[in-house]
Amino acid sequence: MLIHIAAVLGGLIVLVWSADRFVLGASATARNLGLAPLIIGLTIVAVGTSFPELMISSLAALQGNPGLAIGNAIGSNIANIALILGFTAVVAPLTVRSMTLKREMPLLGGVMVFAYLVLADHHLSVTDGVLMIGALVLLLFWLTTEALRASADDPLREEVAAEVPEPMPMTRAISWLVLGLVLLLASSKAMVWGASNIASALGVSDLVIGLTIVAIGTSLPELASAVASVRKNEHDLAIGNVIGSNFFNTLGVIGIPALLQPGAVEATAVDRDLMINIGLTIMLVAMAAGLRQRNRILKAEGAVLLACFGAYQTMLFFSA
């Protein structure tokens, strides 16, 4: 079992590094081709945080581990809100200043309800995958349009554009793009292999491993990014990255495996885990629009989110 644990840990390290290199290469290539930094930041950079989840879920589905694929997507969403934003808010209260972000947060709740309706029959079909990917394309178009229409002093515009890598020679950009993609595939395969074997050795389902080890592991880089953003007083970017990641996890990380390998979905993933995901999303929106401290997520509220995450992981431990 030690070799399987090593595969997960080693795969995670390479996965995080290669995803960063892939985003760097893709962003620099797009910039060299004349794409505006704001658009690159809202698409390539924003989606890049979910590349690890996408690769793992796609490979897991193709290799006959649908529970790991679904668990990774939903578990990452839960970790993003309860662990990442919870911990970040405890470090420093989060202030939502961007009007674009204020429109996105309620929309995230709608996307979660849409995902529940799609998965309510406990089955993912090709049609479901087409619906989810279609919704993701429309959503990315809307988000980009809204950001471009936002006033010049909207803090999210400046913070997103600042995250885009500096220009580099096209040869170097393409080299990082190709190397990142190759290592993403290799490390994802190692993680899926290790996680599946750990699940078998422990006698638990792939779903539980996806909701815990894999989901938390792939979310740790986003935690570091969120804390760094808050320390630079880029609160909107910290929250925006989580919202964008959850959009993509829900529609893309679940939708693409549905196209690759349609099949049954464990009932608990929908009726328990996705419902918890929806509940946390509602909590996040309510906290950000709170009456006592409007448009702020306070330290106490961050502690509540962390407590929810701890309770959820404890529940998974005993249910496994």
* Dist CA 100 CA 111 (whole Å): 16
- What tens digit of pLDDT does each residue of 169-184 get? 888 888 988 998 888 8
Place of tokens 């993701």: 136
- What tens digit of pLDDT does each residue of 124-166 get? 999 999 999 999 999 888 877 876 776 666 666 666 666 667 7
Nearest CA to 74 out of 193, 317, 251 is that of 251
275: CATH? 1.20.1420.30
Q: Which of 129-133, 208-212, 218-222 has the lowest mean pLDDT?
A: 218-222
Q: Which of 32-41, 74-83, 109-118, 282-291 has the lowest mean pLDDT?
A: 32-41
- 251 in Cβ contact with 107 (< 8 Å): no
**pLDDT for res 291:** 52
What range does the domain containing 300 cover? 2-319
Rg (CA), the chain: 19
C-beta neighbour count of 178 within 10 angstroms: 13
* Dist CA 25 CA 169 (whole Å): 10
pTM exceeds 0.85, yes or no: yes
Structural domains of the chain, count: 1
Element containing residue 36 per DSSP (H, E): none
Which residues is 141 bridged to in the sheet?
none
